[in-house]
Chains A and B, each alone.
Chain A
Amino acid sequence: MTESIDDRLAALVGRPVGSRGTSVAPDPVNQPMIRHWAAAFEDWNPVYTDPEEASRSRFGGIVAPPLMLQTWTMATPRITGIAERGGSPVEADEVGPLAVLDEAGYVGTLATDSEFEIVRYLRLGEVVSATSTIESISEEKRTRLGAGRFVTWVTDYTDEAGEVVGRQRFRILKFKPEGAPA
């Protein structure tokens, strides 16, 4: 018996996005990475990089930029062969659940929305973990790029005690490029 595409997609909801369930940050929240980030975006908010001003602030000390949340748990890249892997910074050790969509012809990918809820700011030395779960996959819709489905996943960022420090909802459109064979 062959499962329909809708059944196969419905089975993905609630499942982890990556092949691993939870990603643990390779390094704790640290001043060198924060300073590198602040320099890149020329964001010299003193609570990120100036210990004296930060100690007089509401936070009482250095805090990480809230939107660095996602950066802490990014995989350490394997630079050799990155272009040959289609830009994937890590070796894919297993086929992820979204491969079902590629097999069904939705080979195009476009990010459409990113939504952060910041529960609390992180301090130096904390180790963050990220767990991403597929929240929904829409029915097929007509878009300007072609027929597609919106895939939404939710990432919970937790501290070492397992408490949620932030949450991200991310949405992509997986589409069948116009003109491509069906």
Chain B
Amino acid sequence: MKESPAPPRQGRRATLDWADIRTGDEVTPMEIDVTATVVVAGAIATRDFMPVHHDRDYANAQGAPDIFMNILSDTAYCSRFLTDWAGPDATVRRLAIRLGVPMFAGGTLVYRGSVTGHERRGDEGVVTVEFRATNDLGDHLTGTAELGFPVPEGGG
């Protein structure tokens, strides 16, 4: 039996060393071409069956020009943006987002962020990232996240 090919990997394979991260470092930007398929795939994978996320006629009747991304997809993309940059051993400890303009199908969503904090907390090195995801209408969301990194015993 032929195995299916491995999925393409865009993220970092080795985790960043916490001690090398500096305040002001840029998080690798992430651009999503938000097609209708992207909106629907995200809604269903997060088990969100609200019709505004998969039925354009329904969205139009609600006054929206098209279907739009659900919030569980937003937080999913936030975590991918963070761990694609930080690497597989980094853990998302906190993620807080404020929602702005909607993300309608047919637009492009760009995530950008930078490091604003760096501290040792217990047996982890914690990095704070402030970020925003923008589309052609403005800020779709702004947020703050904390990532935990493994650090050597007694080091850091």
Interface residues of A (CB under 8 A from B): 36-47, 49, 53, 57-58, 65-68, 70-71, 74, 77, 79, 82-83, 87, 89, 111-118, 121
Contact = CB atoms under 8 A, between A and B. Distances in A.
Chain A residues touching B, majority SS: mixed
B44 A40 contact: yes
Contacts of B8: 42, 44
Interface stretch (B21-29, B72-80, B113-121, B131-139): B72-80
Contacts of B95: 67, 115-116, 118
Nearest to B96: A115
Interface in B85-141: 88-89, 91-99
Contacts of A82: 49, 51
A152 to B, nearest CB: 13
- Size class of the B contact interface (CB-based, 8 Å): 35 or more
Contact of B10 (A44, A49, A58, A116): A44
B97 A115 contact: yes
Interface string B20-61: 000000000000000000000110111111111001001000
A66 B91 contact: yes
A118 B49 contact: no
A89 B50 contact: yes
A74 B46 contact: yes
B102 to A, nearest CB: 10
A87 B51 contact: yes
B98 A116 contact: no
A53 B12 CA distance: 13
B51 A111 contact: no
Given A67-B95, A83-B55, A113-B96, A43 B76 contact: yes
A112 to B, nearest CB: 6
Nearest to B11: A45
B5 interface: no
